[in-house]
Amino acid sequence: MTLYKNILHPCRSVLLSASLILPFTLISACAATQSETAPIVASNTPQAAPQTPPQTTEPTRQAQAQQPKAYANFDAWLEAFRRDAASQGISSRALSALDNVRYLERVIELDRFQPEFVRPIWEYLEGAVSSARINNGRIKLAEHRQTAMQMEQRYGVPAEVIVAIWGIESSYGSNFGNFSALSAFATLAYDGRRSEFARGELLAALRIIDSGDIAAENMIGSWAGAMGHTQFIPSSFETFAKDGDGDGRRDIWGSIPDVMASTANYLARSGWQTGQPWGVEVRLPSGFDYSQTEQRSSAEWAAQGVQALNGSLPSFSSASVIVPAGAQGPAFLVGPNFRAILRYNNATSYALAVATLSDAIAGRAGIQQSWPRDQLPLTRAQVRELQQALNAMGYNVGEPDGIQGPNTRRGLSAYQRDQGLVPDGFATQALLERIKRR
């Protein structure tokens, strides 16, 4: 769980609390945020694999400009931070870890990077839920079945879901980064764009060292500071990490019981409901109103003609219909457990990857409806062009930033509705051309 996780991972914890329908996957630094009141029906176009840090919001291009620094150089900033950390009770032992902290230009390069081209969700899922990842997930579950089942019984989260997050976050521990978390957060804090967040995480990392859970030299993770097998940022670690093997330490780098206990605890505290599925693939009736933004019970959705593709609808008291690739792609009815996964990483594509990977590991069927593969995603430049056009027509979507967030989808849906089109909020090349010809 990449912890920008709440930053979510809360990028992971924090991030994830979005309403089910519309989150976007961001690059490897954090997922886009969404509120609990976000629309229930929305589309989503991911851009990168879910190696995102927990819960953070992706800033606009304009907001990414480097802020003026109040210090002559990084060393001066670090010394001032050291004094402040000491005043907040950080021990001299933990503070000594700052002796090895360095400014990492590569972290800034990655933090600033925004790919011009965005991968469509079906391509993202093909990579995230590949046959190799499914097979490796089954192997890992078999290898650690006793531990996984213990955590399932303790926290109520299915073993295959725990393993699926492990697979999505770090490919089962084969790739959880090689950056010093301390240097990464110090660099980001000094740089200025997300200084308050990074500063807070750096303090949390020092508290973790103080607690004895991990030595400073072993606090390794992604460039954005997400750490360990399931990618927690320090603040999420402090809140959710658990000692699963009973050795008195919470080690998400080297102890699989700790990794599984921490991941399951994160989901449990994010609202996971034992015994319920994440959701189900559905068939929508002709004339379905894609502009709905309310969560409804399964019975209410059924009354509108929503049907499970196989079997019956799960009994959800509060569920959303999502169409991550618009009206021409698959549709899903998702409940509280899907929202719990979103708390880990607030991107519809991420949650769908975890959900379908867990199904595949458990031997359940995958997505059956076809994706609209003939629809090419918009580049970031084209998204900005779309946003500018919508603003010019009175559909206020905010500052054009090239990111298809909830405001852009809402504005696009309103335009589609006014034009007599299906208001699914899904941006396509054809729709952009139509708007440009207005």
Per residue in 9-66, pLDDT (tens digit) is 333 333 322 233 332 222 233 332 232 223 334 343 343 333 333 333 333 333 333 4
* Predicted local confidence at residue 241, as pLDDT: 98
Per residue in 172-188, pLDDT (tens digit) is 999 989 999 999 999 99
More confident residue, 6 or 205: 205
More confident residue, 116 or 14: 116
pLDDT, mean of residues 408-425: 93
Per residue in 329-343, pLDDT (tens digit) is 999 999 999 999 999
Its pTM stands at 0.84
d(CA 321, CA 306) in angstroms, rounded, equals 9
Mean pLDDT lowest among 48-62, 233-247, 364-378: 48-62
Residue 352, pLDDT > 80, answer yes
Residue 230, pLDDT > 60, answer yes
Q: What's the token pair of residue 428?
A: 């396509």
Per residue in 378-408, pLDDT (tens digit) is 999 999 999 999 999 999 999 999 988 889 9
pLDDT, mean of residues 100-113: 94
pLDDT, mean of residues 113-135: 91
Per residue in 75-91, pLDDT (tens digit) is 999 999 999 999 999 99
- Confidence class for position 67, pLDDT limits 50, 70, 90: very low
* Predicted local confidence at residue 406, as pLDDT: 85
Residue 1, pLDDT > 70, answer no
Domain 279-362 matching CATH 1.10.530.10: the answer reads: yes
**Domains of the chain by residue range:** 70-275, 279-362, 380-436
- Confidence class for position 69, pLDDT limits 50, 70, 90: low
Residue 364, pLDDT > 50, answer yes
pLDDT, mean of residues 285-294: 90
Burial category of 69 from C-beta neighbours within 10 Å (exposed 0-12, middle 13-18, buried 19 and up): middle
